[in-house]
Structure 1
Amino acid sequence: MATGQIARPGHPRAVTTSKSSLPYQVILYLNGFYFAFFFIAEILIYIFKGETLPYATNALAAEVVLVFILAGVEALRLCMGGKGNLTENALSVISCLLFTLPALFGTLFILLWQTYVLRIEVILAAIQLAFIGLELIFSIIACITFASQ
């Protein structure tokens, strides 16, 4: 019992336990910072590529637009996952799981399917894929935990 609280006779003490996942929240938090770094690095890499490498008409612009779309999807995904985990709302975590698919394909695009892939992009995208994979595992565990209430 906390200091200053008095137990009244006839009132049971309410004990609440939190089912939110600390490892999932930590990974979401770290991925938020990493993705900001990843996004800025990708924009700088595209500036470098645009200056030094020959691109087909509109190919560079399309790739940059896809990176901005990926940033929007990733921001929504991280926000939904964090809020869903903290509020123990399975629906928000499931929507985060649904946004994981476009985020995964966007990262795979950067890793495999863009016009020119630099070694630094392979390293950055592999780290991002590791974050996505860990978040996928922990979000499934969180959904199962929240549904078992």
Structure 2
Amino acid sequence: MTASSEILSSLPMEVLLFFNRWFTLLYVLLTGAIFIYKGMYLPYPPTGAYTWEVVFLCLYYIIDRTRIFQASKGNKTEQVFPLVTACLLTLPCVISLAYYISLQTYVLQLDVILNAIGLVFLGLESIFGPITTLRLLRASRF
């Protein structure tokens, strides 16, 4: 096997991204259902916090799906730029999950569990992403 035909993509990262795709969909659906419950049974202040929390959930979904797509694309095609983009998009996702785990108006136990699982996925992808990127960079220099 020559150096140019060596497979550099990361199978563990791709498996993690596959499961994170499904978890993100489940997370948004469950969190949306939780927001419906909170809106019906809990007294939100009239500052518009409820609306902003729902809007931020939609933005989180868009950013996270884009991040997962870019990471998967970069991993499968062995390109550095999509992987770097995915690594940069991890920061807003972490901030969003950290907000939903502790700073939103009402935090239920299910919120804590779902957001903790999401942070674990992001943490693992934050490990595999840079490792794969460095592997690709090192291989492209020679």
TM range (shorter): over 0.9
CA RMSD, Structure 1 to Structure 2 (Å): 1.3
Question: C-alpha offsets along residues 20-68 of structure 1, whole Å, 9 cap, x if unaligned?
Answer: 0000011011000001000000000000000000001211111000000
Distance 1:45 1:94 in 2: 33
Distance 1:145 1:15 in 2: 13
Distance 1:69 1:108 in 2: 15
Gaps of 5+ in 2: none
TM-score in terms of structure 1 length = 0.89
Are 1:108 and 2:98 counterparts? yes
Distance 1:26 1:59 in 2: 36
Q: Amino acid of the residue matched to residue 132 of structure 1?
A: L
> Which of the residues 45, 52, 57 maps onto 2:34?
45
Percent identical among aligned pairs is 34
TM-score in terms of structure 2 length = 0.94
> Which of the residues 14, 29, 33 maps onto 1:25?
14
Offset, 1:15:
6.9
Change (3 A) 1:15 1:109: closer
> Which of the residues 115, 119, 136 maps onto 2:109?
119
Larger Rg: 1
Question: C-alpha offsets along residues 60-110 of structure 1, whole Å, 9 cap, x if unaligned?
Answer: 111000000000000100000000000011111000000000000011111
Alignment-derived partner of residue 127 in structure 2: 137
> Which of the residues 24, 33, 40 maps onto 1:35?
24
> Which of the residues 53, 57, 60 maps onto 1:63?
53
> Which deviates more, 109-118 or 14-23?
14-23
Q: Amino acid of the residue matched to residue 111 of structure 1?
A: I
Q: Amino acid of the residue matched to residue 75 of structure 2?
A: N
Distance 1:28 1:131 in 2: 8
Change (3 A) 1:80 1:52: same
Alignment-derived partner of residue 64 in structure 2: 74
Detail structure 1 runs of 4+ shifted over 6 Å in the superposition: none
Hey, which of these two has a bigger chunk of helix by percent? 2
